[in-house]
Amino acid sequence: MLQSLASNSCVRLIQSHKSTWYFASLVLGYILYLIFGAVVFSSVELPYEDLLRQELRTIKKQFLQENECLSEERLELFLKKALEASNYGVSILNNASANWNWDFTSALFFASTVLSTTGYGHTAPLSDGGKAFCIIYSVIGIPFTLLFLTAVVQRIMVFSTRRPIMYIHTHWGLSKPLVAIVHATLLALLAVSCFFLIPAAIFSALEENWNFLESFYFCFISLSTIGLGDYVPGEAVNQRFRELYKVGITVYLILGLIVMLVVLETFCELQQLKQLRKMFYLKKEKPQDRLAILEHDHLSFTTMSKRATAHTEDKTHPFVSVSTLVSPNDDPMIQ
């Protein structure tokens, strides 16, 4: 008997806090996913990092042996300066000296990566004035970009998603959730083809050292605004039409980001995903429940007020009231 009561109370407790338990499971799942990613990346990349370190040590040792007049300390100082300059996008190599990082087209490309929060990191401001302006420019520009993208996506959604779904649902008589799922799938396939597969093939042809996988990797890292910066187009030596190429990449990034937001918004409007999201949200009070709570509070307040009034009258009149005495002439028994 006690076990059944305990189990029933546990079930009632879980059902009454179902959203909280779902949210706790969501947090736990996210933490486990982070740990899973760390384990996989570490196991895959750590051997390659160790191999690269060994190769660099071997090359450095061989270079010092061939150049005995150069001390290891001076070589370390030189490499440190070269690596610091490379972090700012400046290279000391002869074949890379022709490319400038702060001409107009390169600065336009940098501004687009800042406002879209992609941030490849291959180029960074060198001066204190440039760093200060970058902060002010980002503080104003990032919310402005969000407003711009929101307005553009809202207008595109009307013609790309809502009207087609409603037209097919109304004229063909198909189920609206089914039409929405099929439409979202087709839209995602079209976006992957036009902004991932085709651009990856183009980049693999224009960039000498990129294969198709590396080009596709760049497209995904860029349009998802991850922006690792290990692959940046237009940085090759003697790149043909480099200025026009940089402008085209800037336009591609802006259009691709808009398309990705349209696809995400289309999937977010699916009824199934809405129900899934509601599992982890706090439940809002319904108007009927709120009205019932207000009526209950009003009734309780009225009852307490009446009790307080009656209690006050009892204190004011402590004696019980009796009927008024009648005169002997008015008493029928005496008469």
Whole-model pTM? 0.73
Rounded Cα distance, 275 and 281, in Å: 10
pLDDT of residue 322: 40
pLDDT per 10-residue tile (average), the chain, 335 residues: 58 70 89 94 92 90 86 86 77 64 86 88 84 94 94 93 90 89 94 95 90 94 88 78 88 94 92 82 64 54 52 49 44 42
CB neighbour list of residue 70: distance below 8 Å, 6 or more residues apart: 64
pLDDT of residue 320: 43
First to last CA, the chain: 75
Rounded Cα distance, 218 and 249, in Å: 12
**How far from 173 is each of 33, 82, 163, 179, CA to CA, in Å?**
42, 67, 15, 10
Rounded Cα distance, 15 and 9, in Å: 10
